[in-house]
Amino acid sequence: MDNTSPLISVEELAASLAGERPPVLLDIRFVLSAAGPTGASGADEYAAGHLPGAHFVDLEQVLAAPPGAPGHGGRHPLPDPEVLGAALRRAGVSADRAVVVYDAGPATAAARAWWVLRWAGHPAVRVLDGGFAAWQAAGLPVTDEVPAAQDGDFKPVPGQLATLDKDGAAELARTGLLLDSRAGERYRGEVEPLDPRAGHIPGAVSAPTFDNNAADGRFKSAAELAERFRALGADEHPVVGVYCGSGVTAAHNALALELAGYRTVLYPGSWSEWSSDPERPAATGPERG
């Protein structure tokens, strides 16, 4: 399987699954509120139908540690390597076997899995472009059969991707480029449905995650993404920082930036950590403050 791109198309994946050494499939569907409009969680959606052979990986239980104390870690801290490794091995993840992750479509949760596995040292992880929705739209098979537990050999080695802490995020916002991946109204401080305070890290630039997607839920082309990030000032800095509410959707911007050819660094604690620390200032309004 060609690993030059962090994305894989439905057509490429179908061909790879028919090959001699198919990739491990991980279903990362996730509903932030733990219950979507229909009352279904990610696990419920998986149980109702998934790609044949896919194992479900719970974002909050596996790809994140329990929430930290106020001001420390945020809502989705980086995972415990032992918990992460055990879950991935049960799903068949091995160091020498490619992995493909997918979610319902926009790739926000799948991008978190892509980033976490690379942070943990896995060398070959790709995201299904368009996710489960694209697979279904192509008329490809779906099943409710749950595969048996596997015996992979992957052992996480954390720290293979650089990260920012609060001080690093503050410094990058002042001297470089730190992108806020949340919706514009949250960046501006007009609403805050989840975290202690509204607003953004002073100096950060608004870059809503879903502007990376085309109407069909797939990522825009590399050229379109490069144009987007160039307009935000990415060409002027050797590395671009990203954050969001809790370090999940920021990975989507990290993926889009990589597609566009930029180096990134992620702030895992994100706004949930920053806003719960009373010593950290919050900026509001539409401009870089």
* Tokens representing residue 2 in the block: 């060609």
Question: What does the pLDDT read at residue 33?
Answer: 56
Question: What does the pLDDT read at residue 207?
Answer: 98
Count Cβ atoms within 10 A of the Cβ of residue 136 and give its class: 0-12 exposed, 13-18 middle, 19 or more buried: middle
pLDDT beyond 80 at 3: no
The pTM for the full model equals: 0.95
The residues carrying an active-site annotation are: 244
Q: Name the nearest CA neighbour of 6 among 162, 124, 150.
A: 124
The whole-angstrom separation of Cα 227 and Cα 262 is 12
Q: Name the nearest CA neighbour of 76 among 38, 107, 106, 115.
A: 115
- Which residue is associated with the tokens 């479509």? 105
DSSP code, position 179: E
**Mind listing the pLDDT tens digit for each residue in 61-118?**
999 999 987 778 899 999 999 999 999 999 999 999 999 999 999 999 999 999 999 9
**Mind listing the pLDDT tens digit for each residue in 36-66?**
444 569 999 999 999 999 999 999 999 999 9
The whole-angstrom separation of Cα 29 and Cα 127 is 12
CB atoms < 10 A from the CB of 35, how many? 11
- Which residue is associated with the tokens 């920082």? 241
Question: What does the pLDDT read at residue 69?
Answer: 79
pLDDT beyond 70 at 289: no
Percent of the chain at pLDDT > 90 equals: 92
Question: What does the pLDDT read at residue 31?
Answer: 81
Q: Name the nearest CA neighbour of 245 among 286, 287, 185.
A: 185
DSSP code, position 213: B
Question: What does the pLDDT read at residue 35?
Answer: 37
The whole-angstrom separation of Cα 268 and Cα 272 is 10
φ and ψ at residue 260, rounded to 5 degrees: -85, -5
| 8 A C-beta contact, residue 101 and residue 26 | yes
Residue 266 pLDDT class (50, 70, 90 cuts):
very high
